[in-house]
Structure 1
Amino acid sequence: MDFNFVIQIIQPLTQLVAARSNFQELAAGAIVLGIILSSCFLVGAIVKTKLGKFFRGHFENVLSKFIPGYGMIKSTVTQIFDRKKYPFSSVALVQAFENDTLMTGFVIDKHPDDMYTVFVPCGPNPTTGYIFHLKQQYVHPVTVPVENALRSVISCGVDSKPLLDAFHQIPEGKQA
């Protein structure tokens, strides 16, 4: 982010502090920035308390009444990015139709008969998609973090280069 952009945003507050005190504009800007950062820290600390959680829950209830779909979007984002509850064991590029087309998928299960169950999400909503049961030769696990692959899906394929680079690092005989 450009530092000048931040300065422009806090400029009205900086001028107010400079006008009401003997501080120069640079010092007033530092004070305003310190107040903003301290406020953010304080709000974060308060939200962690029982009272803060109560008010946050009340605020979210009010938001859900005025913003259609807020609750669904919040639960979807929480489910996807909650680090403790990834339903996927790994990322793979899969050949769902046994041709050269590669799809981003998430390995759900590996079966004893060399079959995989893979979830291939639809972009930009990774909560919808298709479940495929594929032979091992059509599933190419790649060493990419699950959240990076999810970001690629949510952004409709933007920044898929790490997935393809990881695929090209798989030894030639293992790519199917």
Structure 2
Amino acid sequence: MHRVKGYLRNTFLLGILTALPIIITYFFLSFIFKKVTGFLIPFIDFVASKSGITLTVFAKQSLSLIVLIFLLFIIGIIAKNYFGKKIISFFEYLLVKIPLVRGVYSSIRQVVETFQVSGGTSFKKVVLLEYPMQKKYSIGFVTKETSEFLNNKINNESYNIFVPTTPNPTSGFILIVPKCEVIELDITIDEGIRFVISAGLISPEAAEKLNSGSK
């Protein structure tokens, strides 16, 4: 009887561990889908009510996604056109004149331009650094070498390092760390991100085996 209970418990736990990545992926994609498609739903509700059309929630979300993709495609065409660039530059000029909007828009614009220049990868290498205290290490990603202005202030050549939070690596802290205090890791950016997202459960070695097994 004890052996049967152990078998049932282990099988059930294995089922949970197998299904968990799929469930988390589903809820994550579902959350993104709702946020993206919900952007135009008020406009679709207004048009539908004026036209006397009744739409299901899924139909509204699907239509919103299609319209949003179409609008982004049109904006891309305009951005490639000479006169379109002039129009966009004019709107950007207006935005940077608004005190509160200026700082937010300029920061986001700089991040987008960084991703465009670097081909979508802003991280240069994965490193270990003593953070948040001595003898306690965190994974960090080098974004670039620190500017001469800041290097002169701290009298040391340094890195700009992004230390992400777990399990959401899109938020975190920017640290300026002297190069001599940084331990460079011989792993890929993807392996470092997997380590952060998994809260340390997937080590770089495990990530390497996972990659080789999926090929």
Return the TM-score normalized by structure 2: 0.47
> Once the 2 structures are TM-superposed, how far is the Cα of residue 132 of structure 1 from its aligned partner?
2.0
Superposed displacement of residue 121, structure 1: 3.6
Structure scoring higher RCO (CA < 8 A, sep ≥ 6) equals 1
Aligned to 2:8: none
CA distance in 2, matches of 1:118, 1:72: 23
Q: Aligned equivalents of 1:7 and 1:51: distance in 2?
A: 27
Question: Deviation digits for residues 2-50 of structure 1, max 9, x if unmatched?
Answer: 4995795322212223x4xxxx545x969x6566654443233122211
Which letter maps to 2:112? Answer: T
State the distance in 1 between where 2:141 and 2:68 align: 42
State how 1:13-162 maps to structure 2 within 5 Å: 13-17=47-51, 19=52, 25-26=54-55, 33=64, 37-66=69-98, 67-70=101-104, 72-84=106-118, 88-95=123-130, 99-106=135-142, 118-121=159-162, 129-134=175-180, 138-145=183-190, 160-162=196-198
Query: Partners of 1:169 and 1:105 in 2: how far apart?
Result: 19
C-alpha distance in 1, partners of 2:104/2:71?
Answer: 25
* In 1, Cα distance between equivalents of 2:39 and 2:161: 40
- For residues 96 and 179 of structure 2, the distance between their equivalents in structure 1, rounded to whole angstroms, comes to 38
Instruction: Give the TM-score normalised by structure 1.
Output: 0.54
Q: Which structure's residues are more often helix, by fraction?
A: 2
Which segments of 5 or more consecutive residues in structure 2 lack a partner in the other structure? 1-32, 146-156, 165-170, 208-215
C-alpha distance 118-48 of structure 1, shift in aligned 2 (>3 A): same
Q: Is there any run of 5+ residues in structure 1 with no aligned partner, and where?
A: 110-115, 150-158, 171-176
In the TM superposition, what whole-angstrom CA distance separates every residue of 1:97-129 from its partner, at most 9, and x where no partner exists?
7723224142868xxxxxx96432477686x53
Question: What is the root-mean-square deviation of aligned Cα atoms in Å?
Answer: 4.7
State how far apart, in whole Å, the 2-side matches of 1:107 and 1:91 are.
10
Percent identity of paired positions between Structure 1 and Structure 2: 14
> Match of 1:65, SS?
coil
Aligned residues: 147
Return the letter of the residue paired with 2:94. V
Once the two structures are TM-superposed, the CA of residue 163 in structure 1 deviates from its matched residue by: 7.5
SS in 2 for 1:102: strand
- 8 Å CA contact retained: 1:140, 1:167: no
8 Å CA contact retained: 1:103, 1:120: no
The answer to whether the 8 Å contact 1:106/1:120 transfers is: yes
